């Protein structure tokens, strides 16, 4: 590299001296000050050459980085396009699945122990109505379904007392229901003259004798938080062999 650099330097010096001579001749003809008093610019061809190489290398690095960035953005765009194309497939699969979940919940409530059945069926009907609203997103619809499932799950861990009507001795009668999770559902009339327990296997109400009267009364008080939790003597279905 030394010989080409020397040639460039010599060539630049010659051009500089030639241009300086022309300028001096013009200044002399025009009465300009002597050459020793004029300020000549300092030009270094080697320095200029090196600076040009630095600029070229910087531009190459910049172009390489921009090309890598563009390639990364194109890859991300391609990935997003594929995901968007699958959104329609996912939505077509999610909606039928949510409808099956609502149907399964309705069937479960229908076949379960019939505690607070009207309230539970009304909840399922509200979920169905929510599913038909076009202004609700799939996320909102799914959230309502999950909430209904969670409420049904909580019933299995609660002891609850509520009032309702039941046909007793062939007549509609106001009774007090005592629900112990999904293990036992019993009723007792307000005057404690009649009581019964739900037989899930036979899906019917079986009458109870007066020996359970005190236990049911105590269970109702515990469920209403009028008494501290305590052991209760209630009729339970016998365990079955698997």
pLDDT in tens, 125-155: 999 999 999 898 888 999 999 999 999 999 9
pLDDT of residue 238: 61
Where are any strands of DSSP class E within the chain? 159-168, 171-180, 184-188, 195-199, 204-207
Q: Where are the domains of the chain?
A: 92-155, 159-223
**pLDDT value at 16 more than 70:** no
pLDDT of residue 80: 83
Mean pLDDT score, 158-183:
93
Share of the chain above pLDDT 90, in %: 51
Q: How many CA atoms within 13 Å lie on the side-chain side of 25?
A: 6
Round the average pLDDT of the chain to a whole number and report it: 81
């Amino acid at each position: 590299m030394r010989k080409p650099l020397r040639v460039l330097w010599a060539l630049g010096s010659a051009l500089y001296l030639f241009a300086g001579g022309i300028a001096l001749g013009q200044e002399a003809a025009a009465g300009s000050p002597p050459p020793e008093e004029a300020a000549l610019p300092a030009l270094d061809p080697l320095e200029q050459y090196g600076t040009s190489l630095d600029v070229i290398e910087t531009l190459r690095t910049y172009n390489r980085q921009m090309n890598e960035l563009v390639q990364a953005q194109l890859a991300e765009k391609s990935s997003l396009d594929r995901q968007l194309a699958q959104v329609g497939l996912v939505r077509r699969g999610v909606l039928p699945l949510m409808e099956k979940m609502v149907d399964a919940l309705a069937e479960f409530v229908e076949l379960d122990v019939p505690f607070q059945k009207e309230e539970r069926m009304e909840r399922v009907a509200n979920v169905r109505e929510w599913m038909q609203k076009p202004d609700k997103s799939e996320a909102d619809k799914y959230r309502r379904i999950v909430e209904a499932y969670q409420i049904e799950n909580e019933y299995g861990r609660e002891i609850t007392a509520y009032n309702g009507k039941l046909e007793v001795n062939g007549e509609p009668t106001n009774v007090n229901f005592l629900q112990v999770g999904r293990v036992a559902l019993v009723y007792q009339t307000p005057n404690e003259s009649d009581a019964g327990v739900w037989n899930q296997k036979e899906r019917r109400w079986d009458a109870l004798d007066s020996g359970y009267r005190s236990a049911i009364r105590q269970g109702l008080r515990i469920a209403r938080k009028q008494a501290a939790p305590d052991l209760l003597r209630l009729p339970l279905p016998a365990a079955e062999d698997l």
